[in-house]
Structure 1
Amino acid sequence: MTNPNNQHSIKQELPAVLMFVGLIWLVFAFDHFLPLEQFGLIPRNGSHLVGIITMPFLHGSLQHIMSNTVPLLVLLTLLAGSRANSRSIVLTIMLLGGALLWLFGRGAALHIGASVLVFGLAVFLIVSGLLERRLVPLAIAIFVTFMYGSSLLSGVLPWQPGVSWDGHLFGGIAGAIAAFFLVRGKQMTSRFRS
């Protein structure tokens, strides 16, 4: 997940961020003509296992996709400016968050949307900033907490109809796990170089 020489910048990674979010919008446009939502995730349903990968690209309404687009752009841009391997972190959160949701989520619910990734990225940036104890990651952690902290807390409350609160929860857990292993990997690498 991390490489000590993993130097990149927001300017270098911004095209990939815009392409990723653009792909989500492209799938949303195609969903008006094709029944793509059927590829969402239904926990413990073998035929919906593909939803682990497809879920972040599927959205039920314009309001749904808009509510994920802005935080995705902000959080992916912040991640792009870090020393973490952005693509690896995004993939880890998507796969781990989706797998946890598939294993432990509410049974008959169809889960779609990028909020698993949004919650995972927010928690990743907060936890890694706190664990790294460096000024810039800590400032990012404080910024993300200030901007999205109340949404993180309210988003995991189970009494919201039509909201994948369990997807939010497992996305956040995946982000925390990814941050822990990223920081631990950096610490292990620095010990071996001493």
Structure 2
Amino acid sequence: MDAIEFNKKLRLSIFIPLLLTLTMWFVKVYEWLFDDSLVSFGIMPRKVEHLYGILFSPIIHSDWSHLWANTIPFFVLSTSLFFFYRTIATKTFLIMYIGSGFLLWCIGRESYHIGMSGIIYALATFLMVSGLIKKNYRLTALALIVVFLYGSLFWGLFPIEKQVSWEGHISGALIGLVLAVIFKNKGPQPPVILSEDDEDDETIPEEIWNAENIQKENPEDTTPTNQDATF
């Protein structure tokens, strides 16, 4: 992949993550400017009239520190998803977004649940497990680095702090795990490791020995055709 193609792929990969990140900050700025709280738009488990919280809760945060703690992990992990899993990224992300929210709506305690952390857990789990399944250790290493920077990702799975939605974290992690298994044959594939027999194999690949690609011994007898042109 050359630099131009890489830059184009990167720009496409950050579009949705950047859009959602800006939306998260816009919502918090709105609350700050108008001294308002949108917490009631979060997920209230098992309340049918609050199902809309599945859509809105990830972009709402309790305070600036909560928002900042979620911003970088979400942006890095979601961009990684769209970069490495381009063909299935949109579908995977939507399932994470709706699936983790719905599971939280089913199992969460009776309280408003807000924040992007559930989706962060889904992304981190998906990238780590998928990387291990595919033996793509770059993806796993990337997710582990983000987990380390995120700090409390592991401990967030347990009901240690009353104000932390550990149910949302578990919901996201479970969705990410399931998706990593379902899409194990999608996205980056395991690296091909050549055996000693393969390395010693002197068989000429078909694209080389195929008669259509062999140049005639006498170049003067070769008549250029459109098949010989490079476009």
Please state which band the TM-score falls in when normalised by the shorter chain: 0.7 to 0.9
For residues 61-87 of structure 1, give each alpha carbon's deviation from its aligned partner in whole angstroms, at most 9, with x where no partner exists. Answer: 000100000101111121122124222
Q: How does 1:162-177 map to 2 (within 5 A)?
A: 162-177=163-178
Letter of the 2:27 counterpart: V
Alpha-carbon distance in 1 for matches of 2:185, 2:83: 20
What residue in structure 2 maps to residue 28 of structure 1?
28
Q: Which has the larger radius of gyration?
A: 2
Q: How does 1:59-98 map to 2 (within 5 A)?
A: 59-84=61-86, 85-98=88-101
Q: Does 1:140 align with 2:139?
A: yes
What residue in structure 2 maps to residue 103 of structure 1?
106
Query: Deviation of residue 9 (structure 1)?
Result: 2.2
What residue in structure 2 maps to residue 130 of structure 1?
132
Report the secondary structure of 1:159's partner residue.
Answer: coil
Q: How does 1:33-72 map to 2 (within 5 A)?
A: 33=34, 34-72=36-74
Query: Deviation of residue 183 (structure 1)?
Result: 1.5
Report the secondary structure of 2:84's partner residue.
Answer: coil
Say whether the 8 Å CA contact 1:9–1:80 is kept in structure 2: no
What residue in structure 1 maps to residue 193 of structure 2?
none
Q: Does 1:115 align with 2:123?
A: no
Letter of the 2:10 counterpart: I
Report the secondary structure of 1:124's partner residue.
Answer: helix
Q: Which has the higher helix share?
A: 1
Work out the number of aligned pairs and report it: 175
Alpha-carbon distance in 2 for matches of 1:14, 1:117: 16
What residue in structure 1 maps to residue 161 of structure 2?
160
Letter of the 2:161 counterpart: Q
Say whether the 8 Å CA contact 1:98–1:170 is kept in structure 2: yes
Query: Deviation of residue 163 (structure 1)?
Result: 0.5
Say whether the 8 Å CA contact 2:97–2:119 is kept in structure 1: yes
Superposed CA RMSD in Å reads 1.9
| Further displaced range: 31-40 or 94-103 | 31-40
Alpha-carbon distance in 2 for matches of 1:83, 1:168: 23
Query: What 5-or-longer segments of structure 1 have no aligned partner?
Result: 1-7, 187-194
Say whether the 8 Å CA contact 2:20–2:59 is kept in structure 1: no
Identity of aligned residues (%): 31
Query: Deviation of residue 139 (structure 1)?
Result: 1.3
Alpha-carbon distance in 1 for matches of 2:29, 2:119: 20
Report the secondary structure of 1:160's partner residue.
Answer: coil
Query: Deviation of residue 35 (structure 1)?
Result: 3.7
TM-score under structure 2 length normalisation: 0.70
Alpha-carbon distance in 2 for matches of 1:147, 1:103: 28
Letter of the 1:128 counterpart: S
What residue in structure 2 maps to residue 15 of structure 1?
15
Query: Deviation of residue 185 (structure 1)?
Result: 5.9
